[in-house]
Amino acid sequence: MSKINALISGSTGYIGIQLTKILVNHKKVNIKYLCGNSSIGKKISSYDKSLSKYKLPKIVKFNKNFLSSVDVVFTALPNGEAQKISKLLLKKNILIDLSADFRLNKSNDFLKWYKIKHKAINMIKKSIYALPEIKRNNIKDSKIISCPGCYPTSILLPLIPLLKKSLISNNNIIIDSKSGYSGAGRGIHKKYKYQNLYESLSAYGLAIHRHNSEIQQELDLNTGKINNFQFTPHLTPMFRGILSTIYVDLKKGVTKNKVNAELKKYYKNEKFIKISNPDTFLSTNDVINTNNCIISVCNSKYKDKLIILSVIDNLIKGGSGQAVQNMNILYNFKESEGLNGKI
């Protein structure tokens, strides 16, 4: 198959830059358009000097006429914007969205959590919540590929297999997640202009963080029951990476080794999911600049409880890398194309 043409809208954000860096080395993709608003006419290399060695188009304002000459449209835009583009798609186009626009199956839920009225309700049924290791078999049937949020990616990958097998209780799940500040986008610097962003740790969004909605949706859909959890995110003084620490109650007769064995079995053919030896302490350094998720099952001081550690790079496995992985699946490319080793 010849190369497919790609358009990246929102190309100068942290996710857009990382996506560009992956796609310039992808053997099956030609970057046809880089789109932005405040950056029109600039070179993408002015945002990341490592891209200066590549011949890339200058940044332009998105135009619907571009759609006739591209196959895949990546959107790394503020919430609500990809919905507008979705209504312009031609038959040949696939939309791979890295915002929250199509993560929720009900438009009322989107309004509740994002305080924005959904502008493309009819397109929701054409979309899929595309966590590739869980939804691989359904991705090819969808017009719109909705990439999961970074926090949910780190949380759903360890929890879904264990809840499906009823190895852990679906009640009293405690999730403590810590993320690098790049997860909040470039605007974080303005928001924290008068605060000590680079030397402080902050809890935020307690009980109301928007990712609660997709975590709830996907846990319930994949297990067929209502799951109860508490999720607390934290902003850390590092640029990238997520560490989620998940506290779970074991079902009667279930052991740490059985939980670990189930995760290894479930992900045995998955290149990007690594199950560590039990009681391995994990660091974000283990996954930075990779598309990997590493999971470790650890003892707690209580025999009937476990602590599960999960680490990802929020800009890659929690963003651009997962988007490319989904594209590879969709177009029957080698799933690891562009995603091997350090990215």
Residue 299, beta-bridge partner list: 306
Where do the domains of the chain lie? Answer: 4-148+318-330, 151-314
Give residue-wise pLDDT tens across range 166-209: 999 999 999 999 999 887 666 655 565 556 777 888 898 888 99
pLDDT at 274: 98
**Other residues' Cβ atoms within 10 Å of the Cβ of residue 299:** 12
Chain center to CA of 328: 15
pLDDT at 200: 84
Q: Is 293 one of the annotated active-site residues of the chain? A: no
Q: Which position among 35, 147, 150, 293 bears the catalytic label?
A: 150
pLDDT at 198: 76
When the candidates are 3.90.1150.10, 2.30.30.30, 3.40.50.300, 3.40.50.720, the CATH number that belongs to 4-148+318-330 is 3.40.50.720
Q: What is the CATH number of domain 151-314?
A: 3.30.360.10
**Other residues' Cβ atoms within 10 Å of the Cβ of residue 125:** 11
**Other residues' Cβ atoms within 10 Å of the Cβ of residue 126:** 15
Residue 38 scores a pLDDT above 90: no
pLDDT at 266: 98
List the structure tokens of 5: 């043409």
- Please give the mean pLDDT across all residues of the chain: 95
Average pLDDT over every residue of 248-264? 98
Average pLDDT over every residue of 282-289? 98
pLDDT at 196: 73
List the structure tokens of 154: 């780190």
